[in-house]
């Protein structure tokens, strides 16, 4: 996407960012202690894994697909890590490599099925979700606590920032993932092909783009992100459990949509997803600070937000449609020129 | 004036063009080394033999038109060339060497670029990106957007197109998008450019622009393969013509050596009475002159919709064809949509049989006795996966409502009746309608509305993308219905058709109705003059 | 020669693969668990594993019925699980069952007449469906995102109704819905049979089936053919919500409680699975009610099979995923062509 291109297309992103600022502002006004750097950074700390998952999901959704398996892969990652660390006493590093490879491979398999056999992403990733969750339970029905010293120290480590505030290792990982993702989306052929596929897959094929390879890579990337998020989640929870991250795929989708990406594909920004995640975090924080509202209000608020954003997207789509009906000024000028020429021709003959 | 096509006003550049062509042809026949040659190429699909031992050759520096009716094999030939399908037998030679493109990318690397009718670009990306996607200029590991923008501007400038390349492709008209597609094709330094029905969505000025671009590319030595339905355009731009029929090669001819009538005969395989059609209308006219004045079925007064059509008046009479004449984008389809209730009018009224009605939906229009064959058959007309039978009875069933279901036997009877009267070529009415050719699909749509026993029919571009024979059949059917007392609103981007079939012509320009012409004064030349002048 | 041709016609029939799968499962069960096909009458009730399967499958079958039409219109409804929870929660809250002493005998009475509670619960379920229908038909939102809103918010609403607790129902007559027997056969089966019969009649004897298919295949062309596409889509979602409501009553009656969090969990995914297993494509168009019913039975039989072999129920998920993969692959024409090299539907010319 060109910088400073059509301002119109940045509007959803601006709305998302403004909403976040507004919500954070409201919280600061109404609740004591809300307006502090640590509260802000806690948004990142508590949602680092969601951020990573949602980043991978952004690519999938921009390409016009969907990945329902992400939450289950996160859970599977925690379970396999815990089992290998605690039951089989593996060294942490091979464990990390293995689980990341596992997530990527699962994604790759799903991508291959979707591409080679032309299956619907919804169904394939749904099956992947069942499979990953089921494999979790095959490893262990109950949760396994992690006592590995490296994991424990990473879990507790806080990277100090200005003043009293600090962030966790997970946040650093999330920010690195985000930066890399933004680079990929805007400065690499792979990233632009993702957008092309989302815009018009058939055209992308005819333009000679490596659509098949890219599609498989997209799901591999999503699987990798889910596994990486699983690693961060493991640091966060220090346990492996089959019930971890239930519903995380929905949160990820919500974050991506609120961040301005269209579910139809082709349009969206990775940075929008970050703000989508932050908004989800802020809602939770607001409710916690309030203390009087029960936690299920979070769900209702998220639902309402989704509704509002989707309405906005719809209005936006039909609005710009009308704008495009009247072409840009340059084109209109040329059309007037050509018409003038035609008039001259005709009158010359008569 | 010939069958299917339009008349363009000759300009000075045409004369220059002719001398160039003559010189080119001389040099061409002197050193006849084809840049592309297909020898004995065949390709079949289950149940269909799309190509049978076709020979084809393309010379450098020429515009070669590929012609044939729907189902003749033009599309398949191009798909074999561009690597979408491999040939079952035969060979493709590029500059004497055999090539086997397995994917569109392979074909691109060989120097064969295609611009399809549907503009296969990505609307959600910018113009510059559409041109350079997959071949980005780089600054280190990252894409160099600035250089891409400059290069795109320069490329389009060579085609005399000056636009903001950072805007999304979807912000531009089809004509501009096509230029972008061509810019992309030539930037991949191709030796062969294939244009598949490039002019279907363009108006006259845009076609002129496209043709001058094609000529300049040809003069630079490019070989251009041009597929079109428009006969006049063929003669205007092509140096050579290859005719296919039923998957077989009929022949390759110099455009200057093949009269239009012979071309049509070769495409269709039988003699088409060019004049017979004109006669039909002439007898009609004389008969009508003596008949009593016709009853007005529908009157639109000050009908308009913001952003769509400025307020206009129309009158549709029983037994009469009202043609909507105008260039592309003048508002013909928009008017049709208002009359049928697809769009709601902001202002004005519609009176039917003297009562004012609000045309709030297609259902409402149907209840009033109006039928509508939309412009875009594929996406707005046929319900692809449903059978021919179901497509035919769909509107009638809608009229009867959910509960008065047409029993299967009755459905079959109705469908059979229309298959017979309209001569729809289908072996099994339970086949999905998507398997029919364009012309037959249009007939199914016509049958759908005839089954509702309408008093008025709106036919929006019913002859678009249909072969010559089917076009005549449909226009003939239209006149027959007219004689039986139906009121018809007819639009076509081929002005010549509108002139020929209409009793009166309402002329539109830039979403406004200028005037109406009737009878003797309604000929192509006058209509064009009125459009150009902007007033009667 | 003729026999061969008839065989291939048979395999191409829509219902063949689903029925074959079900038969296979039945055979497997009969083989491995003795007494699987055994039916007996005990105290006036029909007992047997097969009866059990039908009884437990009833909620899924109902939701699959509603889901079939939604999918046929090219849509999807992932909120049905939440609606199940809401319906159950409302009925449970309204009925409850307080212990009172009547004539010296302790008896459970309902807070509200049972008919009122049932009507209220079904009414709310219908409203939920209409909400979805409005978002999809009137506002034009994409079905998956429109129903995602209710899926997320709906659980919150259900918990709001139950105040975050699991409400136990003590009122005897309510149990009849999910546990009762009529003429020896479980009452829930009657409910399903009634709805199924009504639907079959409606789709065969009226134009509704044709209209739904037309709308699913090409909504624009349908509208231009004077079909009220919007009305059809709206009512299809409303009906799906109603089905979910009935299913919710059966579920809560079965377990004699209402759990806002867990009732109907993953039920929407099972329903979508059932519909696709039954041969209806997610892309919309032609649908098969019978296929969806068979699909629901397959899923239920699968659950039963796993349970009866003694495998932990969580493994159910893994098996489900494998079944999904297999059936999806078999339904994919591309797969069949590549693996079996049979004459699948190749792309035709032009």
Asked whether B395 and C225 are in contact (CB, 8 A), the reply is yes
Token reading at A72 = 């289950």
Domains of chain B: 1-111+190-272 (3.40.50.300), 122-172+180-187 (no CATH), 289-369+455-536 (3.40.50.300), 375-453 (no CATH)
Strands B321-325 and B487-491: parallel
H or E element at residue B457: strand B456-460
Residue A308 lies in a domain: yes
Inter-chain CB proximity A126 and C324 less than 8 Å: yes
Q: Residue A143's CB: how many other CB atoms inside 10 A?
A: 16
CA distance B279 to chain C (A): 34
For B174, half-sphere exposure in the C-beta direction (CA atoms, 13 angstrom radius) is 17
Q: What mean pLDDT, rounded, does chain A reach?
A: 85
Which residue segment(s) compose the domain that A198 sits in? Answer: 7-349
> What is the per-residue pLDDT across A328-342, written as a single tens digit (0 to 9) for each?
333 444 444 444 433
State yes or no: pLDDT of B528 exceeds 80. Answer: no
What pLDDT band is residue B284 in, cutting at 50, 70 and 90?
Answer: low
Structure tokens, B506 = 């309402």
CA dist., res. C161 & res. A17, Å (int) = 33
Of A199, A324, A338, the CB nearest to B125: A199
Q: What is the CATH number of the domain that holds A257?
A: 1.10.3470
Tell me: the pLDDT tens digits for A131-187?
999 899 888 888 889 888 888 888 888 888 877 788 888 999 999 999 999 999 999
Please give the mean pLDDT across all residues of chain C.
84
Of B365, B385, B397, the CB nearest to C210: B397
B394/C227 CB distance under 8 A? yes
Tokens of C68: 């079939």
C43 touches chain B (CB under 8 A): no
Record the tokens describing residue B323, joined without a space. Answer: 């043609």
The answer to whether residues C245 and C125 touch, using CB atoms and an 8 Å cutoff, is yes
A1 located within any domain: no
Instruction: Tell me whether A266 touches chain B (CB under 8 Å).
Output: yes
Neighbours, chain B (3 or more CB pairs < 8 A): A, C
- Asked whether the beta carbons of residue C227 and residue B48 sit closer than 8 angstroms, the reply is no
Higher model confidence: residue C27 or residue B121? B121
DSSP-H helix ranges across B341-487? 362-367, 388-400, 408-421, 438-450, 468-483
Tokens of C31: 């083989």
Taking the Cβ of residue A124 and every Cβ of chain C, the question of whether any pair is shorter than 8 Å is answered with yes
- Asked which of B175-184, C230-239, C319-328 is least confident by mean pLDDT, the reply is C319-328
CB of C79 closer than 8 Å to CB of C150: yes
- DSSP letters spanning B402-430: TTSPPPHHHHHHHHHHHHHHTT---S-TT
Q: Which of A280-289, B453-462, C39-48 shows the lowest mean pLDDT across its residues?
A: C39-48
pLDDT band for A326, please (50, 70, 90 cuts): very low
Predicted pLDDT of residue A280 = 93
A202–chain C Cβ distance below 8 A for any pair: no
What residue has token string 């209702």?
Answer: A300
Burial per residue of A256-285, b for 16 or more beta-carbon CB atoms within 10 angstroms, e otherwise? bbbbbbbbbbbbbbbbbbbbbbbbbbbbbb
Neighbours of C11 (CB within 10 A): 11
Measured over the CA atoms of residue C46, residue C51, residue C52 and residue C55, the dihedral's sign is: negative
Which residues between 293 and 322 in chain C have a beta carbon less than 8 angstroms from any beta carbon of chain A? 312, 314-322
Lowest-pLDDT range, B106-115, B147-156, B365-374?
B106-115
The DSSP output letter for B160 is T
**pLDDT at position A101, please?**
97
pLDDT digits (tens, 9 = 90+) for B487-496: 999 998 777 7
| A192/B125 CB distance under 8 A | yes
Chain B: closest CA distance from residue C350 (Å): 7
Closest-CA residue of chain C to A113: C329
d(CA C233, CA C240): 11
Q: What are phi and psi of B473, to 5 degrees?
A: -60, -45
Between CA C75 and CA C146 the distance in angstroms is 10
> What is the pLDDT at residue B147?
93
Cβ atoms of C290 and C19 within 8 Å: the answer is no
Interchain proximity C149–A263, CB inside 8 Å: no
pLDDT band at B70 (very low <50, low <70, confident <90, very high): low
Residue A323: the pLDDT is 45
Closest in A196, A347, A349 to B122, CB measured: A196
pLDDT at C10: 59
pLDDT of residue A336: 42
Helix (H) or strand (E) holding B505: strand B504-509
| pLDDT at residue A328 in the model | 37
Asked whether the whole model's pTM tops 0.90, one would answer no
For residue B207, the model assigns a pLDDT of: 85
Lowest-confidence region among A63-77, A309-323, B291-305: A309-323
Total domain count, chain A: 1
| pLDDT of A50 | 96
Exposure pattern of B374-398 as b/e (b: 16+ CB <10 Å)? Answer: bbebeebbbbbbbbbbbbbbbbbbb
A332 within domain boundaries? yes
ipTM: 0.81
Confidence of residue A216 (pLDDT cuts 50, 70, 90): very high
pLDDT tens digits for range C212-271:
999 999 988 999 999 988 999 999 999 999 999 999 999 988 888 888 778 888 888 889
Task: Give the rounded distance of the alpha carbon of A299 from its chain centre.
Answer: 19
Closest-CA residue of B relative to A180 is B142
pLDDT value of position A333 = 41
Interface test with B, best of C72, C74, C202, C226 (most B CBs within 10 A): C226
Per-residue pLDDT at B4: 32
pLDDT at B9: 45
Please name each of the domains of chain C with its CATH number: 45-332 (1.10.3470)
C285 touches B: beta carbon within 8 Å: yes
- pLDDT given at position A269: 92
Burial degree of B180 (CB within 10 A; 0-12, 13-18, 19+): buried
3-class DSSP state of B504:
strand
Strand, helix or coil at B464? coil
- When scoring B85, B167, B527 by the number of chain A Cβ atoms within 10 A, the one with the most, hence best to mutate, is B167
| pLDDT, position A340 | 41
Environment class of A169 (CB within 10 Å of its CB; exposed 0-12, middle 13-18, buried 19+) = buried
Residue C17 to residue C11: CA distance in whole angstroms: 7
Which chains are within 8 Å of A by 3+ CB pairs?
Answer: B, C
* Coil vs helix vs strand at B93: strand
Q: For a pLDDT cut of 90, what percent of chain B falls above it?
A: 29
Write the residue in C148, C153, C283 that is nearest to A300 by C-beta: C153
Question: B466 vs B250, which has greater pLDDT?
Answer: B250
C71/C317: higher pLDDT: C71
Quick check: is A42 in a domain? yes
Do B172 and A328 count as a contact with CB atoms less than 8 A apart? yes
Confidence of residue A299 (pLDDT cuts 50, 70, 90): confident
> Sorting pLDDT into bands at 50, 70 and 90, what band is B413?
very high
pLDDT at site A341: 39
Please give the structure tokens belonging to residue C174: 């309510």
| Angle (CA) A53 A246 C319, round 5° | 105
Interface contact flag, A207 B120, Cβ < 8 Å: yes
What SS3 string covers chain A? CCCCCCHHHHHHHHHHHHHHHHHHHHHHHHCCCCCCHHHHHHHHHHHHHHHHHHHHHHHHHHCCCCCCCHHHHHHHHHHHHHHHHHHCCCCHHHHHHHHHHHHHHHHHHHHHHHHHCCCCHHHHHHHHHHHHHHHHHHHCCCCEECCCHHHHHHHHCEEECCCCCEEEHHHHHHHHHHHHHHHHHHHCHHHHHHHHHHHCHHHHHHCCCCHHHHHHHHHHHHHHHHHHHHHHHHHHHCEECCCCCCCHHHHHHHHHHHCCCCCCCCCCCHHHHHHHHHHHHHHHHHHHHHCCCCCHHHHHHHHHHHHHHHHHHHHHHHHHHHHHHCCCHHHHHHHHHHHHHHHHHHHHHC
pLDDT at B288 over 90: no
Q: Nearest C-alpha of chain B: how many angstroms from C24? A: 32
- What tokens were used for B204? 């006259």
By mean pLDDT, which of A72-76, B168-172, B312-316, C40-44 is the weakest?
C40-44
What is the per-residue pLDDT across C170-225, written as a single tens digit (0 to 9) for each? 777 788 887 888 777 888 889 999 999 999 998 888 999 999 999 999 988 999 99
Predicted pLDDT at A175: 94
- Has residue A203 got a pLDDT over 80? yes
State the chains in contact with C (3 or more Cβ–Cβ pairs under 8 Å).
A, B
Predicted pLDDT at A348: 32
> Is residue A312 domain-resident?
yes
pLDDT of amino acid A252:
95
Of A199-208, B200-209, C234-243, where does mean pLDDT reach its minimum? B200-209
Residues B405, C206 contacting (CB under 8 angstroms): yes
Return the percentage of chain B with pLDDT > 70, whole number: 86
Q: Considering the domain boundaries, does residue A2 fall inside one?
A: no
Among partner residues A118, A122, A302, which is closest to C332 by beta-carbon distance? Answer: A118
- Is pLDDT above 70 for A22? yes
Phi, psi of C40 (to 5 degrees): -145, 160
Q: How confident is the model at residue B153 (pLDDT cuts 50, 70, 90)?
A: very high
Instruction: Give me the pLDDT at residue C181, please.
Output: 80
Cα distance between residue B94 and residue B60, in whole Å: 11
Partner-chain contact A6 B167, CB within 8 Å: yes
Which of A272-281, B244-253, C149-158, C335-344 has the weakest average pLDDT? C335-344
Q: Residue B247: pLDDT above 80? A: yes
pLDDT at B68: 80
* A129, A134, A302: residue with CB nearest C152: A302
User: Does the pLDDT at position B230 exceed 80?
Assistant: no
Residue A261 φ/ψ, nearest 5 degrees? -85, 135
Structure tokens at C40: 């007996």
Which of these ranges, A8-17, A199-208, A227-236, B16-25, has the smallest mean pLDDT?
B16-25
Lowest mean pLDDT among B265-269, B393-397, C314-318: B265-269
Other CB atoms within 10 Å distance of the CB of residue A14? 12
C286, B385: Cβ pair inside 8 Å? yes
- The pLDDT of residue C64 is above 50: yes
Q: Count A/C contacts: CB-CB distance under 8 Å.
A: 131
Looking at residue B515, the DSSP 8-state letter turns out to be: E
Please compute the mean of the pLDDT values over residues A211-226 and round it to a whole number.
Answer: 96
Residues of chain A contacting C282 with CB distance shorter than 8 Å: 120, 122-123
Q: Report the gap between the CA of B353 and the closest CA in chain A (Å).
A: 35
Collapsed DSSP state (helix, strand, coil) of residue B348: strand
CA dist., res. C242 & res. C84, Å (int): 10
> Least CA distance to A68: which residue of chain C?
C269
Residue B263: CB atoms within 10 Å: 22
pLDDT band at A347 (very low <50, low <70, confident <90, very high): very low
Q: By mean pLDDT, which of B134-148, B521-535, C46-60, C295-309 is the weakest?
A: B521-535
Structure confidence at residue B21 (pLDDT):
54
More confident residue, C170 or B177: B177
Question: Residues B164-169: what's their mean pLDDT?
Answer: 89
pLDDT > 70 in chain A, percent:
88
B142 touching chain A per CB within 8 A: yes
Whether A47 is in a domain gets the answer yes
Q: In this complex, do A299 and C150 lie within 8 Å of one another by their Cβ atoms?
A: no
**CA gap A178, C226 in Å, rounded:** 49
CA A338 distance to own-chain centroid: 47
Report d(CA A75, CA A239) in Å as an integer. 10
Rg from Cα positions in chain A: 23
- C 125-154 residues inside an 8 A Cβ radius of A: 135, 139-142, 144-146, 148-154
* C349: nearest CB among B48, B380, B403: B48
Of C218, C347, C349, the CB nearest to B384: C218
For position C71, what pLDDT does the model report?
A: 94
Task: Return all residues near C104 (Cβ < 8 A) that are at least 6 apart.
Answer: none
Q: Identify which has the larger pLDDT, B128 or C176.
A: B128
Which pLDDT band holds residue A243 (cuts at 50, 70, 90)?
Answer: confident
Interface of A with C in 71-110 (CB under 8 A): none
């Amino acid at each position: 996407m060109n910088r400073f291109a059509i301002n119109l297309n940045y509007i959803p992103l601006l709305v998302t960012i403004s909403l976040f600022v507004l919500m954070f502002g409201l919280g600061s006004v109404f609740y004591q202690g809300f307006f502090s750097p640590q509260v802000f950074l806690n948004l990142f700390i508590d949602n680092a894994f969601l951020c990573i998952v949602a980043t991978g999901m952004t690519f999938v959704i921009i390409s016009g697909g969907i990945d329902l398996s992400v939450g289950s892969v996160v859970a599977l990652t925690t379970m396999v890590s815990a089992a290998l660390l605690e039951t089989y006493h593996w060294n942490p590093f091979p464990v990390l490599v293995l689980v990341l490879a596992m997530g990527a491979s699962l994604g790759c398999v799903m991508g291959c099925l979707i591409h080679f056999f032309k299956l619907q992403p919804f169904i394939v990733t749904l099956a992947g979700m069942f499979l990953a969750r089921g494999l979790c339970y095959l490893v262990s029905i109950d949760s396994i606590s992690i006592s590995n010293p490296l994991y424990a120290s990473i879990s507790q480590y806080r990277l100090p920032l200005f003043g009293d505030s600090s962030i966790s290792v997970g946040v650093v990982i999330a920010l690195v993932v985000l930066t890399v993702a933004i680079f990929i989306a805007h400065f690499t052929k792979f990233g632009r092909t993702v957008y092309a596929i989302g815009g018009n897959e058939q055209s992308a094929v005819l333009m000679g783009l490596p659509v098949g390879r890219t599609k498989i890579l997209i799901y591999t990337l999503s699987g990798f992100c889910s596994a990486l998020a699983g690693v961060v989640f493991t640091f966060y929870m220090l346990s492996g459990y089959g019930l971890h991250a239930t519903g995380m795929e929905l949160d990820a989708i919500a974050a991506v949509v609120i961040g301005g990406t269209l579910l139809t594909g082709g349009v969206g920004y990775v940075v929008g997803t970050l703000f989508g995640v932050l908004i989800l975090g802020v809602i939770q924080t607001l409710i916690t600070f309030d203390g009087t509202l029960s936690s299920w209000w979070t769900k209702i608020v998220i639902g309402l937000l989704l509704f509002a954003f989707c309405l906005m997207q719809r209005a936006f789509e039909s609005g710009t449609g009308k704008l495009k009906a009247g072409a840009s000024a340059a084109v209109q000028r040329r059309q007037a020129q050509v018409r003038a020429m035609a008039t001259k021709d005709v009158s010359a003959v008569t | 004036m010939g069958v299917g096509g339009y008349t363009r006003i000759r300009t000075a550049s045409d004369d220059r063009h002719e001398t160039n062509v003559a010189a080119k042809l001389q040099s061409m026949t002197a050193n006849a080394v084809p840049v592309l040659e297909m020898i004995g190429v065949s390709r079949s699909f289950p149940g269909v033999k799309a190509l049978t031992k076709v020979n084809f050759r393309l010379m450098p520096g020429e515009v070669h038109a590929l012609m044939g009716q729907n189902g003749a094999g033009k599309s398949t030939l191009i798909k074999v060339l561009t690597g979408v399908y491999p040939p079952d037998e035969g060979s493709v030679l590029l500059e004497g060497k055999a090539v086997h493109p397995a994917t569109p990318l392979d074909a691109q690397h060989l120097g064969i670029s295609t611009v399809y009718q549907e503009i296969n670009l990505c609307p959600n990306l910018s113009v510059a990106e559409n041109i350079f996607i997959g071949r980005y200029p780089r600054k280190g590991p990252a894409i160099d957007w600035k250089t891409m923008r400059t290069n795109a501007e320069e490329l389009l400038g060579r085609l005399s197109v000056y636009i903001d390349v950072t805007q999304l492709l979807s912000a531009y008209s089809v004509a501009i998008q096509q230029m972008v597609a061509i810019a992309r094709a030539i930037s991949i330094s191709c030796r062969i450019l294939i244009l598949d029905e490039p002019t279907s969505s363009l108006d006259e000025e845009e076609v002129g622009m496209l043709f001058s671009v094609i000529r300049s590319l040809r003069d630079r030595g490019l070989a251009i393969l041009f597929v079109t339905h428009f006969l006049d355009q063929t003669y205007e731009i092509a140096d050579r013509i290859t005719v296919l029929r039923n998957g077989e090669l009929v022949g390759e001819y110099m455009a200057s050596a093949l009269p239009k009538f012979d071309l049509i005969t070769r495409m269709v395989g039988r003699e088409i009475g060019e004049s017979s059609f004109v006669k039909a209308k002439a007898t009609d006219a004389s008969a009508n002159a003596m008949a009593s004045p016709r009853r007005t079925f529908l009157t639109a007064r000050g009908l308009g919709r913001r952003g769509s059509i400025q307020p206009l008046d129309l009158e549709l009479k029983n037994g009469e064809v009202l043609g909507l004449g105008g260039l592309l984008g003048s508002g013909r389809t928009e008017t049709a949509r208002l009359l049928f209730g697809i769009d709601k009018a902001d202002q004005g009224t519609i009176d039917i049989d003297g009562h004012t009605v609000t045309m709030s939906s297609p259902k409402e229009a149907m209840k009033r006795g109006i039928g509508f064959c939309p412009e875009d058959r594929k996406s707005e007309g046929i319900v692809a996966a449903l059978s021919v039978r179901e497509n035919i009875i769909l509107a009638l069933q809608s009229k009867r409502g959910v509960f008065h279901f047409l029993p299967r036997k009755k459905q079959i009877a109705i469908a059979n009746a229309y298959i017979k009267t309209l001569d729809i070529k289908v072996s099994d009415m339970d086949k999905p309608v998507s398997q029919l050719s364009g012309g037959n699909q249009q007939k199914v749509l016509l049958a759908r509305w005839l089954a509702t026993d309408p008093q008025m029919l709106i036919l929006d571009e019913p002859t678009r993308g249909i072969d010559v024979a089917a076009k005549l059949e449909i226009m003939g059917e239209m006149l027959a219905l007219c004689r039986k007392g139906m009121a018809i609103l007819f639009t076509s981007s081929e002005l010549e058709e509108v002139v020929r079939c209409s009793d009166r012509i309402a002329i539109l320009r830039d979403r406004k109705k200028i005037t109406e012409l009737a009878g003797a004064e309604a000929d192509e030349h006058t209509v064009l003059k009125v459009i150009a002048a902007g007033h009667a | 020669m003729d026999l061969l041709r008839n065989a291939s016609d048979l395999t191409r029939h829509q219902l063949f693969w689903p029925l074959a799968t079900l038969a296979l499962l039945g055979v497997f069960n009969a083989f491995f668990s003795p007494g699987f096909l055994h039916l007996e009458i005990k105290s006036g009730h029909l007992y047997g594993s097969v009866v059990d399967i039908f009884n437990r499958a009833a909620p899924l079958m109902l939701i699959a019925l509603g889901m079939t039409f939604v999918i046929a219109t090219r849509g999807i409804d992932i909120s049905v699980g939440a609606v199940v929870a809401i319906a159950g929660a409302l009925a449970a809250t309204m009925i409850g069952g307080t212990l009172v002493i009547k004539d010296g005998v302790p008896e459970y009475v309902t807070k509200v007449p049972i008919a009122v509670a049932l009507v209220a619960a079904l009414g709310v379920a219908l409203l939920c469906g209409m909400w979805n229908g409005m978002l999809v038909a009137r506002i034009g939102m994409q079905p998956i995102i429109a129903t995602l809103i209710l899926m997320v918010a709906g659980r919150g609403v259900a918990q709001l109704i139950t105040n975050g607790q699991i409400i136990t129902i003590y009122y005897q007559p309510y149990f009849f819905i999910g546990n009762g027997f009529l003429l020896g056969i479980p009452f829930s089966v009657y409910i399903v049979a009634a709805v199924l019969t009504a639907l079959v009649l409606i789709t065969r004897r009226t134009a509704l089936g044709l209209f739904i298919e037309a709308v699913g295949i090409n909504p624009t062309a349908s509208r231009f053919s004077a079909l009220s596409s919007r009305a059809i889509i709206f009512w299809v979602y409303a009906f799906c919500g109603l089905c979910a409501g009935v299913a919710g009553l059966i579920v809560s009656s079965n377990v004699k409680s209402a759990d806002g969090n867990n009732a109907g969990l993953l039920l929407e995914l099972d329903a979508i699975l059932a519909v696709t297993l039954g041969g209806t494509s997610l892309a919309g168009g032609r649908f098969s009610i019978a296929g969806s019913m068979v699909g629901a039975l397959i899923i239920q039989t699968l659950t039963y099979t796993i349970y009866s072999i003694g495998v932990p129920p969580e493994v159910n998920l893994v098996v489900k995923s494998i079944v999904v993969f297999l059936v999806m692959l078999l339904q994919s024409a591309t797969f069949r062509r590549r693996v079996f090299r049979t004459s699948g539907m190749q792309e035709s010319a032009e």
